[in-house]
Structure 1
């Protein structure tokens, strides 16, 4: 009887994932932020089409995804808040008492944020391209590019979200986490470009944000990476940080 009860209540990755979905959906600001992310991507495309129409011009297909670059800020803040909430609210002791192996909690947070960010980005990009097509942009002229932008916007935001969850779990403090994310995603690439040393300049395209940004950018013959290769670099960063976060959450006190 005892063995049966223990098996029934045993913590599994699936149950940990379900718990993280509940945590995410319970706080109304989380779904609202996702909706705002979608509206930002689609809305900026509508504004761009309207502004160019007043000048008798049409934007390019990739310009329609301008909002995705801004949307990553919302996703990054949402991810770091979601990751750090365990410690800022004092919930970590209860969470890790229920899931003593701890890594399923990190995995659950990464999956929740990754899936949410992917759908927000892809649906927003799809709406942006539809708005562009209605406004006269030749979206159907390059179907491969359109598909890459729709899937790439989702993949880009998902990669950023997973990366930030790992950072947040390692830092554990909300303010420090946000500052660290700003430094890694935005400040570091800019700072390196200001250093006039060619070997260091070659590192910039392989940083998370510049590499992942290729997924929603026009083809750049100067870059050594293709858009999908850039996406792979972003996810390599995300996986590496997640592994480091798994070791950190396993070895440190709650």
Structure 2
């Protein structure tokens, strides 16, 4: 046994996890879908911030609170774009059968899948930080031209970072979902249903039947629990710890079966 093999973590087939991470990073940054989805997310966020800053009056909330709302309002749509990126990152490998090479290099499979989720989550977090802080700065400039003061305090920083964390969660969730269904179209369809269709259905049920359980279930959905991360504490629908537990549950729902099936089924 060579020293290199002995130093490699168990499960990577002699390839260190750091090298697996670098490999997955290279895959992510060398496919066109990464830059197309990133460009769409940035453009969508910039247009939203421009329209918000130009059209929405701070009113009684004040400049900072309103600017925070405008900085995060695009995240609901950007989350879908990030989710598409995550699904394509793994679904594209299954479509082109490149996944066979990936799992041949890493026979235990799970390190490659986890590494892919980590790099997608990291990319999504950085993208989210650029979007939230950039949108906040843009709206602050527009409000400053109207004589409205906008300040970046500790609560504001927490909200903006929370938006970036939410996108990182969506990215990791989407990779797990893509590994579970092994088809990009199916993964994107399921993700869209979870982010947009399920909240509407539960809201309709709650309104039509006066069902309190539907309201509670709606709060625990992926999008609504994630929204707590970039909502000011005084306005959040639940405590931050409860939202984090809900998000951890959603990650477990896709990642536990995804890891188990990836280990045992053919590619």
Shorter-chain TM range is 0.7 to 0.9
Report Cα offsets for 1:33-76 as digits up to 9, x if no partner: 224323322331122112347xxx97812331212222112111
Report Cα offsets for 1:167-221 as digits up to 9, x if no partner: 1100001111111111222212221222223223311111111100122235465
* Structure 2 equivalent of residue 250 of structure 1: 263
RMSD: 2.6
* Structure 2 equivalent of residue 226 of structure 1: 239
**1:88-103 aligned within 5 A:** 88-103=95-110
1:132 matched to 2:131? The reply is no
* Structure 2 equivalent of residue 211 of structure 1: 225
Name which of structure 1's ranges 177-186 and 112-121 shifts more when overlaid on structure 2. Answer: 177-186
Q: What is the TM-score with the length of structure 1 in the denominator?
A: 0.87
Aligned length: 249
Q: Which whole-Å CA distance do the structure 2 matches of 1:222 and 1:34 have between them?
A: 28
Q: Which whole-Å CA distance do the structure 2 matches of 1:73 and 1:4 have between them?
A: 44
Q: Which residue, 221, 237, 240 being the options, matches 2:250?
A: 237
* Structure 2 equivalent of residue 27 of structure 1: 31
* Structure 2 equivalent of residue 70 of structure 1: 77
Q: Which whole-Å CA distance do the structure 2 matches of 1:50 and 1:213 have between them?
A: 24
1:111 CA drift (Å): 0.5
* Structure 2 equivalent of residue 192 of structure 1: 202
1:146 matched to 2:156? The reply is yes
* Structure 2 equivalent of residue 3 of structure 1: 2
Where does the alignment leave 5 or more consecutive residues of structure 2 unmatched?
none
Q: What is the TM-score with the length of structure 2 in the denominator?
A: 0.83
Distance verdict in 2 for CA 1:202–1:90, change over 3 Å: same
**Does the CA contact (< 8 Å) of 2:228 and 2:236 recur in 1?**
no
1:32 CA drift (Å): 3.7
Q: Which whole-Å CA distance do the structure 1 matches of 2:224 and 2:265 have between them?
A: 32
Name which of structure 1's ranges 118-127 and 231-240 shifts more when overlaid on structure 2. Answer: 231-240
Where does the alignment leave 5 or more consecutive residues of structure 1 unmatched?
none
Report Cα offsets for 1:97-148 as digits up to 9, x if no partner: 11011001111111011101111111111011111211225431x6133112
Distance verdict in 2 for CA 1:139–1:106, change over 3 Å: farther
